[in-house]
Amino acid sequence: MNHDSYSDDYIRGILNTVKSIAMVGASEKENRPSYFAFKYLLERGYAMIPINPNRAGEEILGRRIDARLAEIPEPIDMVDIFRGSRHALPIVQEALALKPRPQVIWMQLGIRNDEAAALAEANGLKVVMNRCPKIEYGRLSAEIAWMGVNTRTITAKKATIGGGIQRLSLNRMSVRGGATEAAAAAERAQHEEGTH
Amino acid sequence: MTERIPGFATLAVHAGAQPDPTTGARATPIYQTTSYVFESVDHAASLFGLQTFGNIYTRIGNPTNAVLEERVAALEGGTAGLAVASGHAAQVLVFHCLLQPGDEFVASKKLYGGSINQFNHAFKNFGWKVVWADPDDISSFERAISPKTKAIFSESIANPGGVITDMEAVARIARRAGVPYIVDNTLATPYLCKPIDHGADIVVHSLTKFLGGHGNSIGGLIVDAGTFNWSRERRYPMLCEPRPEYHGIVLHETFGNFAFAIACRVLALRDIGSALSPFNAFLILTGIETLPLRMRKSCDNTQAVAEWVAAHPQVAWVSYPGLPGDRYHGLAKKYCPNGAGAVFTFGLNGGYDAGVRLVSNVKLFSHLANIGDTRSLIIHPASTTHRQLSDAQKTQAGAGPDVVRLSIGIEDQEDIIADLEQALAAPE
């Protein structure tokens, strides 16, 4: 699997399939990126489970924080890793020990660990790295276009309302739109420098 | 599996737009509203906190404007855009996000005269200091860099002189200095040149010109290339420090490679207020749908007109990079291989009086102070836009007494040339 670029169908397929997401490294602080993503995904109907050993037993938006993946009482579909790249491998190992196993390992924007990805894929899990599920949901539904963001999709099909004001559905037929190659190249260069 | 990437003309028609989700309207609706109702208090809180995507108030965002923003971002190959009231407004917002009082930026001295005024005078009141560099001596950009430098600015094709900046050389200097490179791509449009492909980090536009293209709407746009690492440089507090306006969020950390466009919207536009009317956005969007057709026709016309003017006995010189003998011809072939734009200047042997006579005698050309219209336009800067300058200042600005500027439209080539021919032949 090429982890430098993903097709929109691959990402949309994952976001359309998973229902429960454990977010490892979720913060209860309102100004943290993980809180933003957690809140957005919760509002879009995903069953969100925050994982943070330092805050275990507390709550984020009414959802109880567990210390480790193994403590989640119900099965989860996806593990969203909001920790530095070097922490990804043990988190994937923990995820693989779950019964049943999750179907997807997702590493956040700026996080990439090819060894962890290979381990997950060898065990039949789907992997996404260096992406944010909130941004991808916003991009593929086109909600993010309200902020002027290039969704890199085009379509002549009517968007589907996602329930509520200013909500668009992920179930939108689109083809690939404009590329942002310079941004992708800059991102690769940053990874090589290891600045993240 | 590789997905096909649509071509430029397809993006010019489709990027950013989709049939309206409730009515199915195919053309982009004009959302002529100031405000948007909230689903609930929680929804409002998410919107104000930037935790969800959506519209609050048209000063900060509007669904019609958003289509325009995505379209231009897609055409330029950028991650996000922000539409504003004018090209000048775009520049104020960009520099507001980059500079603090006492900071400097380096700018090419071959710029649209309005930008030279803005940088020299209006920006002084903000404590932002412009340091001029010469695009004909690229090392002058490097020499102009100081510890206070926060950005470098140039045009791709400069207005009006047809100067083409060696953008890749300037971009290398910007990278070494750790500052973003801003390119005004108004004259070229992304049809002729994509500055991001040549190292620009931020692209600004006056939409008023070729993008809108019909001389009916003022507008400006900022494109974020998504290439600059704000967190590494740590010199841009709007991007890399906790923002008190938004409960301490760090925009680059939260919005990644489109953080600059978000900063321009939620900090600069929100507080400075130079918002674009959605009606203007609609007209400009409609214009952009035909951008490739119009630019092709205007460039072909311009090449023919420039060749004809260059051969006229009353003409002393022509400055158009599309002409083989022009000093910027090589750079034009590199940066604008599909045409050197549709604006050029030339000098009349008869000087000031001959310029006045020409603009008085044309019947098809419109005598006015704009460029980038379907119509052909003419101006004699020395008697109009640059009238207040001394002769020496006029000459330095490329607006000497003999200079005439043309912006060539999409009329029939033969008619454009015939109008110049009769006007030049008119008796003194």
The answer to the question of residue A102 being in a domain is yes
CB B80 to CB A148 under 8 A? yes
Sort out which chain A residues have CB atoms less than 8 A from B61's CB and list them: 146-148
CA–CA min distance A57, chain B (Å): 24
Which DSSP helix (H) or strand (E) runs through B184? strand B181-184
How confident is the model over B272-320, as pLDDT tens digits?
A: 999 999 999 999 999 999 999 999 999 999 999 999 999 999 999 999 9
CB B5 to CB A190 under 8 A? no
Rounded CA separation B229/B50 (Å): 21
Q: Which of A132, A149, A159 sits opposite B80 (nearest CB)?
A: A149
CA–CA min distance B388, chain A (Å): 40
The answer to the question of residue A87 being in a domain is yes
Which DSSP helix (H) or strand (E) runs through B83? strand B80-84
Q: Which of B12-26, B111-125, B135-149, B387-401 has the lowest mean pLDDT?
A: B387-401
CB B53 to CB A132 under 8 A? no
Sort out which chain B residues have CB atoms less than 8 A from A157's CB and list them: 18-19
Residue B161 reports pLDDT greater than 80: no
Q: Which of A30, A33, A154 sits opposite B253 (nearest CB)?
A: A33
CB A176 to CB B22 under 8 A? no
Q: Are A111 and A129 in contact (CB under 8 A)?
A: yes
Closest residue of B to A164, CA-based? Answer: B39
**End-to-end alpha-carbon separation of chain B, Å?**
69
> What burial letters (b/e) apply to B288-309, b meaning 16+ CB within 10 Å?
bbbbbebbbbbbebbbbbbebb
- All domains in chain B, ordered by first residue: 8-287 (3.40.640.10), 291-425 (3.90.1150.10)
CA–CA min distance A112, chain B (Å): 15
CA–CA min distance A97, chain B (Å): 31
CB B74 to CB A152 under 8 A? yes
Q: Which of B24, B197, B225 sits opposite A158 (nearest CB)?
A: B24
- Predicted confidence at residue B353, as pLDDT, reads 96
B38's CB contacts (< 8 A; 6+ apart) are A165, B44, B47
Sort out which chain A residues have CB atoms less than 8 A from B190's CB and list them: none
Closest residue of A to B37, CA-based? Answer: A165
Q: Which of A165, A177, A181 sits opposite B74 (nearest CB)?
A: A177
| A144 interface with B at CB cutoff 8 Å | yes
Q: What is the DSSP letter of B414?
A: H
The answer to the question of residue A195 being in a domain is no
Mean pLDDT value across residues B172-194: 98
The total domain count for chain A is 1
Rounded CA separation B192/B339 (Å): 6
Closest residue of B to A165, CA-based? Answer: B39
Sort out which chain B residues have CB atoms less than 8 A from A175's CB and list them: 3-4, 6
Orientation angle between helical segments B413-425 and B291-310, nearest 10 degrees: 40
Mean pLDDT value across residues B179-197: 98
Residue pointed to by tokens 């040549």: B198
Q: Which value does ipTM take for this structure? A: 0.94
Q: Are B343 and B407 in contact (CB under 8 A)?
A: yes
CB A165 to CB B83 under 8 A? no
- Predicted confidence at residue A37, as pLDDT, reads 96
Which DSSP helix (H) or strand (E) runs through B286? helix B278-289
Q: How confident is the model at residue B2 (pLDDT cuts 50, 70, 90)?
A: low
A34, A145, B45, B36 alpha-carbon torsion, rounded to 10°: -170
Q: What is the mean pLDDT of chain A?
A: 94
| A146 interface with B at CB cutoff 8 Å | yes
Which DSSP helix (H) or strand (E) runs through A191? helix A181-193
Residue A107 pairs in a beta bridge with: A81
CB B79 to CB A149 under 8 A? yes
Residue B420: exposed, middle, or buried by beta-carbon count in 10 A (0-12, 13-18, 19+)?
A: buried
Q: What is the pTM of this model?
A: 0.96
Sort out which chain B residues have CB atoms less than 8 A from A151's CB and list them: 70
Q: How confident is the model at residue B271 (pLDDT cuts 50, 70, 90)?
A: very high
Rounded CA separation B370/A172 (Å): 41
CB A161 to CB B231 under 8 A? no
The shares of helix, strand and coil residues in chain B, as percent rounded to the nearest 5, are 45, 15, 40
Interface test with B, best of A144, A147, A170 (most B CBs within 10 A): A147
Sort out which chain A residues have CB atoms less than 8 A from B229's CB and list them: 186, 190, 195
Mean pLDDT value across residues B152-160: 92
B392's CB contacts (< 8 A; 6+ apart) are none
- Predicted confidence at residue A34, as pLDDT, reads 96
Q: Are B69 and B221 in contact (CB under 8 A)?
A: yes
CB B80 to CB A152 under 8 A? no
How confident is the model over B23-71, as pLDDT tens digits?
A: 999 999 999 999 999 999 999 999 999 999 999 999 999 999 999 999 9
CB A165 to CB B37 under 8 A? yes
CB B1 to CB A7 under 8 A? yes
How confident is the model over B74-103, as pLDDT tens digits?
A: 999 999 999 999 999 999 999 999 999 999
Residue A53 reports pLDDT greater than 70: yes
Nearest partner of A103 among A141, A63, A76, judged by Cα: A76
Counted across chains A and B, CB pairs separated by less than 8 A come out at: 180
The answer to the question of residue A131 being in a domain is yes
CB A178 to CB B225 under 8 A? no
The answer to the question of residue A187 being in a domain is no
Residue A196 reports pLDDT greater than 50: no
- Predicted confidence at residue A187, as pLDDT, reads 85
The answer to the question of residue A93 being in a domain is yes
Q: Which of B14, B70, B227 sits opposite A148 (nearest CB)?
A: B70
How confident is the model over A126-148, as pLDDT tens digits?
A: 999 999 999 999 999 999 999 99
How confident is the model over B343-395, as pLDDT tens digits?
A: 999 999 999 999 999 999 999 999 999 999 999 999 999 999 888 878 887 88
Domain housing A50: 8-142
CATH value at residue A92:
3.40.50.720
Q: Which of B16, B21, B196 sits opposite A145 (nearest CB)?
A: B16
| A20 interface with B at CB cutoff 8 Å | no
Q: Are A104 and A128 in contact (CB under 8 A)?
A: yes
- Predicted confidence at residue A63, as pLDDT, reads 97
Q: How confident is the model at residue A195 (pLDDT cuts 50, 70, 90)?
A: very low
| A4 interface with B at CB cutoff 8 Å | no
Sort out which chain A residues have CB atoms less than 8 A from B257's CB and list them: 180, 183, 186-187
Rounded CA separation B383/B350 (Å): 14
CB B67 to CB A145 under 8 A? yes
Q: Which of A40, A152, A181 sits opposite B51 (nearest CB)?
A: A40
Mean pLDDT value across residues B260-272: 98
How confident is the model over A162-191, as pLDDT tens digits?
A: 888 899 999 888 988 888 999 999 988 877
Q: What is the mean pLDDT of chain B?
A: 96
- Predicted confidence at residue B397, as pLDDT, reads 73
Rounded CA separation B268/B291 (Å): 29
- Predicted confidence at residue A134, as pLDDT, reads 97
A12's CB contacts (< 8 A; 6+ apart) are A140, A170
Residue A194 reports pLDDT greater than 70: no
- Predicted confidence at residue A189, as pLDDT, reads 84
| A149 interface with B at CB cutoff 8 Å | yes
Sort out which chain B residues have CB atoms less than 8 A from A152's CB and list them: 74
